[in-house]
C-alpha cells in the first residue's frame, strides 16, 4: 500500500470523480477517498444531466478531456436538446440517465485510470504541515494519508442533517452517515463557513402509477449527444433502450393538503434556518410563493431501464410523510401510488467561496482546493465543472507546473468560478445562460473549438480528441469558404420561389441565402450539387459539423461584436492588484467599495469591477491611482 500522494481527493461525487480523474491524467499520483465505492458518481437527486446552461458546462468538461459527457452518453435513456425554438446560444443538451449504470460507468473510468488509487473510508481530520498549509488527512479507520495538495468535494455530507416533517436524521444522504470534524478544523484555521439547505422529492413505484392519465414526453432521435467523440461500433451496440418521461399536474385539492401540513414543515416552523435553492423550490414553497396558481407541472422521470423507480421532478418536499402521500393521491395518475422513500430536506456546511482563488485553492489554507456544494453551489454539472478545475490545479501545483484558469469569455465554467469568488453566495448557486454576458461566444456547439486545445496542452484531452477537433475546425472553414465564394445567379429564383423565399434582384454569394431565417445549409444543398458534394466528403460527424458551420454563418455579426466587447474587458483582467494592498487608505473610494475590496481581495481590476458594491467610479479611481 501507498499512503503518500501528490493529490488526495475527498468525496466520490460528481466533483470528486472529475477532480480525481483530471489530477491522475495530468501525471499526479492521486488517491480518491470515498465513503462507499458503490455510490461513486451517485445521482443524489434527479437522474438527469444537463439542462439550461448546465448542458453547456457538460460539453465544456468533455471538450477539456473530462468524463461526465462520455459517462452520461453511455448511460442515457433519453436525450433532448432544450430551447430549440430559440437561438443557438440558448440551446442546451439534457439527458435522462440510468442511475445505477451511471455509477458503474464512473467506476470503470476511475478504476482504469493510471496514477489513480481509491480508498473506501471516511476522512475525519486534517493534517497541517504548518499553520495554514495542508499536508494530508487522517481517516476514521486511523489511516494517515499524506499529500502535497488536497481537494475537498464533500457535497452535503459535512455535518449533514436531514428533515422529514419534524423528524431530524443526521446524515449526508438518505441511508448514509454524515461527516464530522473537518468543518471545525477549517474554521479554526480561519475559513468562513455557513449552512445551506437543499431537498429532493419522493421516489415512486412505477407499477402503482397510472400512466394512461399522464402525458408522454419522448426524447430526440437525432445526432445530438454530450461528448464530441464520435460513437464507435461498440458504443452503438451498448446504447441503452430509450424511455419516455411523463408529465402530470397538481391541483387545488393537492394544494389544500399541502397547506394543512405547513405548520409541520421545517421550512416554515423555524426548524430549518438556512437558505434553500431559489431556482429549484420545494412544493410547499411554490404554493406559498405562487398562491394564485391552481396547479404546478410535475415530471415523472424513470431512474433506469431495470428498475420501477420513478423520480417526481417538481415535488421536492420536507413535509411529513403522511402529508406528502395524501397530497399525491389527489393527482389522478398517482391515486394509488406507492413510494420507495419520501422527499426530504438536508442542511449541510459550506465555505465562503470569496475566500478562494480562481484556481479554487483556498486563500486561507495553502494546498487545499474546494469544489462542488461545499462552495455553495447546487447541481451535478456545476460540481463537476469545479471538480475538473480543482483537480487540474491541485495536480499542477503538486507537480510544480503553474496553474490553469478559465475566463468569463472562454467558458461557462469560467463564469461559474468567477461569480463564486467575486460575488460569493447567499443561497445555493445555480448556473443560467443569463449569468453569462458572452453567451453567444459560449454556445454548446463550439465548446471543443474553445477548449480542446487547452485540454490537450495540459495533457488532459487525448491525441484522438485533439485530432477530431482540428478535423472539425478544418471542415467548418471549408464550408464557410465555399459559402462565401460560391456565386448564386438570378436563375436560382425559381428555387427560391419554390422555397417561399424572396427572389434575388441581382446575383449574390451563397452565404447571403444561408443567412435567411427560412433557409438552411441542408435545404440549400438539395439545389446546389457542389455543396451536396462537399457535405458528402465529410468523413466524421457530418450533421454536427454542418450545424456548427451554419451557426457560425447566421450569428457571424453577433459573434464578432461579442468578441470585441470581450477584448475590451480583457484589458482590465491584465491589470493585477497586490494581495496585500491596503484599500482602507484610499479615501477616494466609497466605504462599501473599501470594505468589499478588503474582504474579497480581487486579483485583477477586472475581477474588482464585478464585485457587487464596487461601482464604475470606484474602478476609475483605481485605474487613475495605478497610472492607467
SS3 sequence, 91-150? Answer: CEEEEEECHHHHHHHHHHHHHCCCCEEEEECCEEEEEEEECCEEEEEEECCCCEEEEEEE
Map residue 167 onto helix, strand or coil: strand
Q: Is the backbone of residue 51 left (phi > 0), alpha (psi -120 to 50) or beta?
A: left
Backbone phi, psi, residue 502, to 5°: -60, 130
The secondary structure element, H or E, covering residue 622 is: helix 616-625
* Torsion angle in degrees (nearest 10) through CA of 423, 424, 426, 427: 100
- pLDDT of amino acid 234: 79
Average pLDDT, the chain: 95
Look up residue 37 and give its DSSP letter. Answer: G
- pLDDT of amino acid 571: 84
Within 8 A by CB and 6+ apart from 474, the residues are none
In this prediction, what percent of the chain has a pLDDT beyond 70? 100
Q: Residue 432 is placed in which grid cell?
A: 443560467
Separation of alpha carbons 121 and 142, rounded Å: 10
pLDDT at position 573 over 90? no
pLDDT digits (tens, 9 = 90+) for 275-306: 877 778 899 999 999 999 999 999 999 999 99
Comparing 418 with 568, the larger pLDDT belongs to 418
Angle at 372 between CA 267 and CA 17, to 5 degrees: 130
Separation of alpha carbons 24 and 619, rounded Å: 41
Least confident interval from 193-197, 312-316, 471-475, 577-581: 577-581
Q: Residue 583 is placed in which grid cell?
A: 484599500
Q: Are 347 and 266 in contact (CB under 8 A)?
A: no
- pLDDT of amino acid 628: 62
Mean pLDDT of 217-241: 90
CA nearest 201: which of 329, 42, 317, 346?
317
Least confident interval from 138-147, 448-457, 566-575: 566-575
Can you spell out the DSSP letters for 451-483? HHHHHHHHT-S-HHHHHHHHHHHHHHHHHHHHH
Q: Spell out a b/e string for 605-624, using b for 16 or more CB atoms within 10 Å of the CB, else e.
A: bbbbbbbeebeeebbebbee
Of these ranges, 84-88, 177-181, 618-622, the one predicted with the greatest mean pLDDT is: 177-181
Mean pLDDT of 318-330: 97
What confidence category does residue 503 fall into, taking pLDDT thresholds of 50, 70 and 90? very high
Map residue 47 onto helix, strand or coil: coil
Mean pLDDT of 435-455: 94
Map residue 26 onto helix, strand or coil: coil
pLDDT at position 373 over 70? yes
Cα distances (Å, whole numbers) of residue 521 to 69, 132, 137, 447, 510: 28, 58, 57, 21, 10
Comparing 105 with 238, the larger pLDDT belongs to 105
pLDDT at position 41 over 90? yes
Global pTM reads 0.93
Q: Residue 496 is placed in which grid cell?
A: 427560391
Q: Are 199 and 282 in contact (CB under 8 A)?
A: yes
Q: Residue 197 is placed in which grid cell?
A: 439547505
Least confident interval from 46-55, 405-414, 603-612: 603-612
Q: Is the backbone of residue 480 left (phi > 0), alpha (psi -120 to 50) or beta?
A: alpha
pLDDT digits (tens, 9 = 90+) for 578-593: 888 899 988 899 998 9
Mean pLDDT of 319-335: 98
- pLDDT of amino acid 267: 86
Q: Are 23 and 391 in contact (CB under 8 A)?
A: yes
Q: Spell out a b/e string for 116-135, using b for 16 or more CB atoms within 10 Å of the CB, else e.
A: bbbbbbbbbebebeeeeebb
Cα distances (Å, whole numbers) of residue 45 to 260, 313, 315, 418: 26, 9, 12, 26
pLDDT at position 206 over 80? yes
- pLDDT of amino acid 447: 97
- pLDDT of amino acid 200: 95
Separation of alpha carbons 411 and 385, rounded Å: 10
Least confident interval from 9-18, 269-278, 328-337, 402-411: 269-278
Separation of alpha carbons 329 and 186, rounded Å: 46
Separation of alpha carbons 519 and 513, rounded Å: 7
pLDDT digits (tens, 9 = 90+) for 56-114: 999 999 999 999 999 999 999 999 999 998 888 889 999 999 999 999 999 999 999 99
Q: Residue 367 is placed in which grid cell?
A: 494546498
Query: Hey, what domains does the chain have and what are their CATH numbers?
Result: 462-561 (1.10.10.1800), 574-625 (1.10.150.570)
Q: Are strands 161-164 and 344-351 parallel, antiparallel or unpaired?
A: antiparallel
What confidence category does residue 499 fall into, taking pLDDT thresholds of 50, 70 and 90? very high
DSSP E strand boundaries for 491-587: 508-509
Amino acid at each position: 500500500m501507498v499512503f503518500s500522494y501528490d493529490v488526495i481527493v475527498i468525496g466520490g461525487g460528481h466533483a470528486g470523480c472529475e477532480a480525481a480523474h483530471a489530477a491522475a491524467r495530468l501525471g499526479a499520483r492521486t488517491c480518491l477517498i470515498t465513503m462507499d465505492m458503490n455510490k461513486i458518481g451517485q445521482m443524489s437527486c434527479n437522474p438527469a444531466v444537463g439542462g439550461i446552461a448546465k448542458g453547456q458546462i457538460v460539453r465544456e468538461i468533455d471538450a477539456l478531456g473530462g468524463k461526465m459527457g462520455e459517462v452520461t452518453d453511455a448511460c442515457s435513456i433519453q436525450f433532448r436538446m432544450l430551447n430549440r425554438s430559440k437561438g443557438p446560444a440558448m440551446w442546451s443538451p439534457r439527458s435522462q440517465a440510468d442511475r445505477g449504470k451511471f455509477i458503474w460507468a464512473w467506476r470503470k473510468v476511475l478504476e482504469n485510470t493510471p496514477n489513480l488509487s481509491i480508498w473506501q473510508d471516511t476522512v475525519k481530520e486534517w493534517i497541517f504541515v504548518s499553520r495554514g498549509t495542508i499536508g494530508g488527512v487522517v481517516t476514521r479507520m486511523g489511516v494517515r494519508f499524506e499529500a502535497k495538495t488536497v481537494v475537498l468535494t464533500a457535497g452535503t455530507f459535512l455535518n449533514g442533517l436531514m428533515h422529514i416533517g419534524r423528524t431530524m436524521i443526521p446524515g449526508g444522504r438518505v441511508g448514509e452517515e454524515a461527516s464530522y470534524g473537518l468543518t471545525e478544523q477549517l474554521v479554526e484555521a480561519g475559513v468562513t463557513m455557513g449552512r445551506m439547505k437543499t431537498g429532493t422529492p419522493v421516489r415512486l413505484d412505477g407499477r402503482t402509477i397510472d400512466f394512461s392519465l399522464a402525458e408522454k414526453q419522448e426524447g430526440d432521435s437525432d445526432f445530438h449527444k454530450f461528448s464530441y467523440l464520435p460513437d464507435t461500433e461498440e458504443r452503438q451496440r451498448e446504447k441503452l433502450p430509450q424511455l419516455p418521461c411523463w408529465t402530470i399536474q397538481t391541483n387545488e385539492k393537492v394544494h389544500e393538503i399541502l397547506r394543512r401540513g405547513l405548520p409541520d414543515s421545517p421550512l416554515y416552523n423555524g426548524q430549518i434556518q438556512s437558505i434553500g435553492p431559489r431556482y429549484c423550490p420545494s412544493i410547499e414553497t411554490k404554493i406559498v410563493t405562487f398562491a394564485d396558481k391552481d396547479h404546478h407541472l410535475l415530471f415523472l422521470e424513470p431512474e433506469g431501464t431495470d428498475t420501477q423507480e420513478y423520480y417526481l421532478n417538481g415535488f421536492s418536499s420536507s413535509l411529513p410523510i403522511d402529508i406528502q402521500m395524501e397530497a399525491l393521491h389527489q393527482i389522478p395518475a398517482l391515486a394509488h401510488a406507492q413510494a420507495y422513500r419520501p422527499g426530504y430536506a438536508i442542511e449541510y456546511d459550506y465555505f465562503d467561496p470569496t475566500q478562494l482563488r480562481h484556481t479554487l485553492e483556498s486563500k486561507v489554507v495553502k494546498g487545499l482546493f474546494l469544489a462542488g456544494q461545499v462552495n455553495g453551489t447546487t447541481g451535478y454539472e456545476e460540481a463537476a465543472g469545479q471538480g475538473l478545475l480543482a483537480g487540474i490545479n491541485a495536480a499542477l501545483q503538486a507537480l510544480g507546473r503553474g496553474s490553469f484558469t478559465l475566463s468569463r469569455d472562454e467558458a461557462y465554467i469560467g463564469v461559474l468560478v468567477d461569480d463564486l469568488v467575486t460575488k460569493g453566495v447567499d443561497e445555493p448557486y445555480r448556473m443560467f445562460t443569463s449569468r453569462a454576458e458572452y453567451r453567444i461566444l459560449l454556445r454548446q456547439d463550439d465548446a471543443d473549438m474553445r477548449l480542446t486545445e487547452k485540454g490537450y496542452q495540459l495533457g488532459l484531452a487525448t491525441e484522438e480528441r485533439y485530432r477530431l477537433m482540428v478535423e472539425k475546425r478544418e471542415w467548418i472553414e471549408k464550408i464557410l469558404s465555399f459559402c462565401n465564394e460560391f456565386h448564386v445567379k438570378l436563375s436560382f429564383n425559381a428555387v427560391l420561389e419554390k422555397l417561399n423565399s424572396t427572389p434575388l434582384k441581382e446575383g449574390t454569394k451563397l452565404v447571403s441565402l444561408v443567412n435567411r431565417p427560412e433557409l438552411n445549409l441542408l435545404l440549400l444543398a438539395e439545389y446546389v450539387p457542389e455543396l451536396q458534394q462537399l457535405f458528402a466528403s465529410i468523413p466524421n460527424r457530418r450533421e454536427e459539423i454542418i450545424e456548427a458551420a451554419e451557426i457560425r454563418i447566421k450569428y457571424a455579426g453577433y459573434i464578432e461584436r461579442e468578441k470585441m466587447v470581450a477584448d475590451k474587458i480583457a484589458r482590465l483582467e491584465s491589470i493585477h492588484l497586490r494581495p496585500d494592498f491596503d484599500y482602507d487608505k484610499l479615501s477616494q473610494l466609497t466605504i462599501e467599495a473599501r470594505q468589499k475590496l478588503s474582504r474579497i481581495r480581487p486579483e485583477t481590476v477586472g475581477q474588482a469591477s464585478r464585485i457587487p458594491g464596487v461601482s464604475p467610479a470606484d474602478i476609475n479611481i483605481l485605474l487613475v491611482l495605478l497610472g492607467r
